Each structure stands twice: as structure tokens, then as C-alpha cells.
Structure 1
């Protein structure tokens, strides 16, 4: 999801309401299915453009580990 300003398709995080579920990753390409098997959501792929991306279905945030993501933006 290319939405660094958190507008449009990505959820608007609300402090105290939106769960702070942050997953550290080493790649800019991440997939999310909600993590609950049949109770999750459809599998989607997102790309981290700067430092993090938030799933529009479950609000999980995927954040690059320090020094990770130098994959040439492919």
C-alpha cells in the first residue's frame, strides 16, 4: 500500500484505540493475512516505502529493522 501520509486506503491510527501491533521486518515487501487463519483476512502484499506500512485490514504495522531494507527498492 503506497500511502505514507496514512490517507485513502490505509487506516488512520487513533492513539488509545488502534492496536499498537508492530512487527519488525528485514524486507520492504511484506505480506499480511491477519494472522488468525480462517478468522484473518485475505492475504495482501504491501511495500514499505520509507520506514513502515500499516495493513488496511487489521492495522498491523510492519516496520523495517535498523539497517534493513537496502534491497535496491525492488
Structure 2
């Protein structure tokens, strides 16, 4: 037995990894085509790798867990806020202790204006009429 294997067996926690049956040898990258590629779960950043990607090595002992409640999807479910005839409004995240720095948003242009920090959306009902609600602006 070589020295490296002896050290890993004597350490205990590494012995589980060395003798784990969960690991499956992935196919070579040259064997992956567009037809047989199998991608893992998509993360909140939009990342998903095929079964031969070296970045999946960190999930060889336990399964990859992905939270389906991505913040941008939850913010998108909230309808835009009608600000009446206000031309300039501010957004502070909604709570002084848990929010973000105060950001002033100009609502002169028609459409929905989003806060660059939290994604909350606002519009001026006197300027935005009909199909103008489909126009999206991001204010940073």
C-alpha cells in the first residue's frame, strides 16, 4: 500500500471518501455529444454542467441541493407599485434595518422602473398608459 493511501485510511474521515461507492466514473469529455449530454440541476446563477464536467467533483460524496426559490423569481411575482402622479420616488428596500441605501428613481419616462438594489418596480400612472406598462427600465 502506498503512503498516501495509508495516511488517508488512518485519518478516518478521508477513509470514507476513499471507500465511497457513491462516486461513479464520468464519461470522457470526448464521449459527450449534444444528444447524450445530461445536465444537472440549474443553480440560481443559471449554471448547469454535463456529466463529464470536472466541476461536479465536489458533489461526489453527497448530492447537489439547489433551492428552487430564487430571489429574482420571487421579486418578479410582486406587481409593480402605482405611484400616482409622483415624478420622483425613493426606494429603501422597505425596512430601515433590513433594507438598502435610499435610491431616488425618476418616473418621467413611460414604463416600469425597477430599483437596482432590490428589484421593486414602480410606475407613474399619469405617464404610463396602456401598453407602456410592458416597457422595463432599470435604475442603478
Q: What range describes the TM-score normalised by the shorter chain of this pair?
A: 0.5 to 0.7
How does the TM-score come out when normalised to structure 1?
A: 0.58
Q: Aligned ranges for residues 1-74 of structure 1 at < 5 Å?
A: 17=73, 18-25=76-83, 26-48=85-107, 49-65=109-125, 67=126
The runs of 4+ residues in structure 1 deviating greater than 3 Å are none
The TM-score, its normalising length taken from structure 2, stands at: 0.33
Distance 2:113 2:87 in 1: 9
The count of aligned residue pairs is 53
Which has the higher Rg, Structure 1 or Structure 2? 2
Which has the larger share of strand? Answer: 1
Check the 8 A contact 2:110/2:127 in 1, yes or no.
no
Partners of 2:101 and 2:120 in 1: CA distance: 14
How far 1:21 moved relative to its partner?
Answer: 4.2
